[in-house]
Chains A and B, each alone.
Chain A
Amino acid sequence: MITASLLHNALIVGAILFSLGLVGILTRRNLIVMFLCAELMLQGVSVTLVAWSRYHGDWGGQILVIFVLTVAACEAAVALVFILQAFSRTGRLDAVAWQALREDNLPRTVDRELPAGDTAPPSWPRLSPAGIRPDSDDNQALQRDHV
């Protein structure tokens, strides 16, 4: 059993997480980030469910969260496969790349002007020196420069 104030706090945390996830899923165009945001919304719901479950002393909420976990796992498996498919079709992880459902005579939505600040090359994290220095492979560096 938890106190009412803890319940309220937990509910507010759940609401915040849910709202953040919602904003993310509405704005971010990267498919994987959108997916992360969906998981964030699920987390908000889970917190809310557990809070209520504990407040009422009823197992139902926690059981439901267990099933939410299960379904989220399934969803992740299937959705990631689809994201990979989409990527192999367009070469991008962009939700805006898929707009074939628009009206016939509407022009295709294209990216607006990119913000100037972001055009600078990103700063790379430095890896701590450990072991021997790997051989420099330009091609590989090009592929994986961002990680």
Chain B
Amino acid sequence: MSPFSPTTLLVLVPLLPLLGAICTILLGRRLGARGHLPAVAGIAGAALVAGLLLVSTVNDVRGDGNGQATRPVEIIAELWQWATVDDAHAGGGDAAGTPVAPGISALDSFSATVTLRCDPLTSTLLVIITGVGLLVAIYSIGYMHDDPGYPRFFALVAMFVFSMSMLVAASNFLLVYVFWEAVGACSYLLIGFWFTRPEAARAAKKAFLVNRVGDFGLAIATFLLWMTYGTLDFHDTWAGDTVVQGILGHTRLADAEGFVGGAVGTAICLLILLAACGKSAQLPLHVWLPDAMEGPTPASALIHAATMVTAGIYLITRSAPLFVGCPGALAMVSIVGATTALVAAGIATVQNDLKRVLAYSTISQLGYMFASLGTGSMLGFTAAIFHLVTHAFFKALLFLGAGSVMHSMGGVIDMRRFGGLRQVMPVTAATFLIGACALAGLPPFAGFFSKDEILAALHAKAHPDQHHSDHADAHAADQIAPNRLATPFRQAAFASNRTALESDAGLERVGLDALDHPSTWQTLFWMSLFTAGLTAFYTFRAVFMTFTGPKRVPTEAGHHPHESPTVMTVPLMILAGLSLLAGWVLFATGGLAWFLAATPSLTAPAIVRTAVTHAFHVDLAVQGSLAAAIGIAIAAIGHLGKRSDSPQMERFLGPLGTLLENKFYFDAIYKALIVRPLEGLSLLSALIDRNLVDGTVDAVARVPLSWGAVVRRLQSGLVQRYALAGVVGVLAIVLALAWQLRP
């Protein structure tokens, strides 16, 4: 293995931040004010290696296909065998009486390998993770200065970069689950970084608990996947000379019948969707993300805006071949996404906390990506990843800008308490404005292009006749490959697949699949368009409230509020440049779509079939820009140049404003439906424990105690009585023996 072979690079990307984290943990106290060095060095190395890896992958793609790469590209690095269980029959193969053929037993032995796989999707995300991670780490050198937990923060950030890299590079659902939990743990620790503050501790706990719901979904999905497919690996493996099809391996992708649809497939997809909803803060599990803003702002930027929350997008994209067989599940993805986008954008319009505005904006933008994924077309998947990339840039920029404001304002983040900061911190204001334009989707900023693609994907789905006929003779009912049917469970799963396909061929659609109807998609499209307007409105409301109007600073900021130090503004400028250029570069060349198309998951026939020629949709661009412009105009009318503590616009909204201000009463509903009953149950349990259980134990303990109270009188301290007792005892024994041995 040469030092720069792709495999080495792939292993190095997670390894370097891990080493950095370990060094920080071991040496943190000794390094003191230089505690950031190992972590920053590790993440910088990882960023460099990820860049090299991206170049290498691009070369692979270019070498394989001419423009339209259909052959999947992947690099597999198998590190070690983690666990092996022989004879782990899924569903009990011999219960049905059918003997398991010798060749198939290999399929039924469970083995978990620590294997990394790099494909275009992974390498793109690795660059985003390490790149944004590096910028955030550099920014944190200034932001976290003089914090007592300085080394701890950098150790956690490096640990997070490691976990996130492993999550996107893992080639095994089990490994994905492990690092899914690991990023959750890092998130928990960073939200609760200032754990002495009760709000931070409560927010960390809330994030952790809400995420558990999603993680539960992923666990069940993993079990179901193994039951159905007999393996958890993404890639194909070899057992002897028979190939074991990985869930997302080449051979299965090439096989038109390789994926389960029907009830089992839909269940798997919905469970994965549940997991993604938890991690990516989609309805109804979005409530943790706004509270997660209690953590340090750089952590919010890195984890809760740019990278970790996009893990759900990654997982669904990775599992795309599973989803495309289940149109109902796909429609659910879009419905959840579009609804979340609209609801979160609505809540964001009335928030006064700058970071909370951005948090709800993150939820809303993630909803966009979900809506795009749900279209199930090549355009939809690439658009989602495209938006993920641009969003990572501009949302990190906005968060870091908000952090800069907060740093300068002495920790105050309520927009009503400051204003006109354009004069105080010009660099922050300028970069924040660029980020806001990108978020609002103004041309030619990054967000404009990615949002346009998402709208295009939705529009294509809503008006299939105008774009492309996306399904017809899709599924040829082949003979089902025998080696997948080792167990009754799998036989049943694939049989239901078959009936689902048959009903698919017919006109009638039942259950969730009925959601996949053009009218649904039209509704979703208009919701997304409306959300675009709302996005522009709340973004520029925040900009106007913070940076325009008369200059006001809170007393916490001191007498001379100042621009942040260079170490903080340079990352802002870099991110601003990326927000400005990335969208245009990536869209105009069509490079990202071309590159991502070589991802194995996206080479499933059902997806490839939906690929369209790269085009710019003028009508949609106009509609999107118009919506954004209207939003900005309303924001300008309401807030431009006014004192930010002047009466707000929601007073015009009436009951809707109350609804928005209370965040659609999600927290209240959860409190009433889940927290309160659980508290009551806990109270009851505590009562039972204290009175019944403890009472029983105490009663049992009182029995020997009372006996002891009687018997302890024998302990008189009089030696002669002891001797007498001994003699009597010996006599009793001798008498008993004499009685037994009597002739």
Where the two chains meet, the residues of A that have a C-beta atom closer than 8 Å to any C-beta of B are: 22, 25-27, 29, 95-96, 98-103, 106, 109
Q: Are B717 and A26 in contact (CB under 8 A)?
A: no
Q: Are B720 and A102 in contact (CB under 8 A)?
A: no
Partner of B715, one of A29, A95, A103: A103
- Cα A106 to Cα B708 in complex, Å, equals 13
Q: Are A99 and B720 in contact (CB under 8 A)?
A: no
Q: Are A101 and B717 in contact (CB under 8 A)?
A: yes
Q: Are B724 and A26 in contact (CB under 8 A)?
A: yes
The residues of A that contact B717 with a CB separation of less than 8 Å are: 98-103, 106, 109
- Cα A51 to Cα B716 in complex, Å, equals 40
Distance (whole angstroms) from the CB of A96 to the closest CB of chain B:
6
Q: Are B715 and A102 in contact (CB under 8 A)?
A: yes
The residues of A that contact B718 with a CB separation of less than 8 Å are: 95-96, 99, 102, 109
Partner of A109, one of B712, B716, B723, B727: B716
Where the two chains meet, the residues of B that have a C-beta atom closer than 8 Å to any C-beta of A are: 712-713, 715-720, 723-724, 727
Distance (whole angstroms) from the CB of A34 to the closest CB of chain B:
8
- Cα A29 to Cα B719 in complex, Å, equals 10
The residues of B that contact A95 with a CB separation of less than 8 Å are: 718-720
8 nearest CB pairs, A to B? A102-B717, A99-B717, A101-B717, A103-B715, A103-B712, A26-B724, A102-B716, A99-B718
- Cα A22 to Cα B727 in complex, Å, equals 9
Knowing that A95-B718, A101-B717 are A-B contacts, what are 13 other residue pairs whose CB atoms are under 8 Å apart, sorted by A's residue number? A25-B720, A26-B724, A95-B719, A95-B720, A96-B718, A98-B717, A98-B719, A102-B716, A103-B712, A103-B713, A106-B716, A109-B716, A109-B717
- Cα A109 to Cα B721 in complex, Å, equals 12
Name which residue of chain B comes closest to A26, CB basis.
B724
Q: Are B720 and A26 in contact (CB under 8 A)?
A: yes
Name which residue of chain A comes closest to B722, CB basis.
A101
Q: Are A99 and B716 in contact (CB under 8 A)?
A: yes
Distance (whole angstroms) from the CB of B180 to the closest CB of chain A:
60
Distance (whole angstroms) from the CB of A86 to the closest CB of chain B:
12
Name which residue of chain A comes closest to B719, CB basis.
A95
Name which residue of chain B comes closest to A108, CB basis.
B717
Distance (whole angstroms) from the CB of B282 to the closest CB of chain A:
67
Q: Are A25 and B723 in contact (CB under 8 A)?
A: yes
The residues of A that contact B720 with a CB separation of less than 8 Å are: 25-27, 29, 95-96
A-B contact count (CB 8 A): 39
Q: In terms of DSSP, what is the predominant structure of the interface of chain B?
A: helix
Partner of A106, one of B715, B719, B724, B727: B715
- Cα A100 to Cα B717 in complex, Å, equals 6
The residues of B that contact A27 with a CB separation of less than 8 Å are: 720
Q: Are A26 and B715 in contact (CB under 8 A)?
A: no
The residues of B that contact A106 with a CB separation of less than 8 Å are: 712-713, 715-717
- Cα A27 to Cα B724 in complex, Å, equals 9
Partner of B723, one of A26, A29, A99, A100: A26
Distance (whole angstroms) from the CB of B721 to the closest CB of chain A:
9
The residues of A that contact B724 with a CB separation of less than 8 Å are: 26
- Cα A121 to Cα B716 in complex, Å, equals 32
- Cα A95 to Cα B717 in complex, Å, equals 10
- Cα A102 to Cα B719 in complex, Å, equals 10
- Cα A25 to Cα B721 in complex, Å, equals 11
The residues of A that contact B713 with a CB separation of less than 8 Å are: 103, 106
Q: Are A26 and B712 in contact (CB under 8 A)?
A: no
- Cα A2 to Cα B715 in complex, Å, equals 48
Name which residue of chain A comes closest to B714, CB basis.
A103
Distance (whole angstroms) from the CB of B424 to the closest CB of chain A:
75
Name which residue of chain B comes closest to A96, CB basis.
B718
Name which residue of chain B comes closest to A25, CB basis.
B723
Distance (whole angstroms) from the CB of B703 to the closest CB of chain A:
19
Distance (whole angstroms) from the CB of A16 to the closest CB of chain B:
16
- Cα A109 to Cα B718 in complex, Å, equals 8
The residues of B that contact A22 with a CB separation of less than 8 Å are: 727
Name which residue of chain B comes closest to A27, CB basis.
B720
Name which residue of chain A comes closest to B716, CB basis.
A102
The residues of A that contact B716 with a CB separation of less than 8 Å are: 99, 102-103, 106, 109
Interchain residue pairs with CB less than 8 A apart (8): A29-B720, A98-B717, A101-B715, A103-B715, A103-B717, A106-B713, A106-B715, A109-B716
- Cα A100 to Cα B727 in complex, Å, equals 22
Distance (whole angstroms) from the CB of A1 to the closest CB of chain B:
29
The residues of B that contact A100 with a CB separation of less than 8 Å are: 717
- Cα A98 to Cα B715 in complex, Å, equals 13
- Cα A13 to Cα B719 in complex, Å, equals 28
Name which residue of chain A comes closest to B708, CB basis.
A103
- Cα A98 to Cα B717 in complex, Å, equals 7
- Cα A100 to Cα B718 in complex, Å, equals 9
- Cα A98 to Cα B712 in complex, Å, equals 18
- Cα A5 to Cα B717 in complex, Å, equals 45
Distance (whole angstroms) from the CB of B93 to the closest CB of chain A:
68
- Cα A99 to Cα B715 in complex, Å, equals 10
Distance (whole angstroms) from the CB of A23 to the closest CB of chain B:
10
The residues of B that contact A98 with a CB separation of less than 8 Å are: 717, 719
Distance (whole angstroms) from the CB of A15 to the closest CB of chain B:
13
The residues of A that contact B719 with a CB separation of less than 8 Å are: 95, 98
Name which residue of chain A comes closest to B723, CB basis.
A26
- Cα A101 to Cα B712 in complex, Å, equals 12
- Cα A95 to Cα B724 in complex, Å, equals 14
- Cα A27 to Cα B720 in complex, Å, equals 7
Name which residue of chain A comes closest to B728, CB basis.
A26
- Cα A70 to Cα B546 in complex, Å, equals 107
Distance (whole angstroms) from the CB of B710 to the closest CB of chain A:
12
Distance (whole angstroms) from the CB of A127 to the closest CB of chain B:
36
- Cα A99 to Cα B716 in complex, Å, equals 7
- Cα A103 to Cα B719 in complex, Å, equals 13
- Cα A109 to Cα B722 in complex, Å, equals 14
- Cα A101 to Cα B722 in complex, Å, equals 11
The residues of A that contact B712 with a CB separation of less than 8 Å are: 103, 106
- Cα A25 to Cα B724 in complex, Å, equals 9
Distance (whole angstroms) from the CB of B267 to the closest CB of chain A:
68
Name which residue of chain A comes closest to B717, CB basis.
A102
The residues of A that contact B727 with a CB separation of less than 8 Å are: 22, 26
The residues of B that contact A96 with a CB separation of less than 8 Å are: 718, 720
Distance (whole angstroms) from the CB of A88 to the closest CB of chain B:
19
- Which has the most chain B C-beta neighbours within 10 Å: A29, A96, A101, A103? A103
Name which residue of chain B comes closest to A29, CB basis.
B720
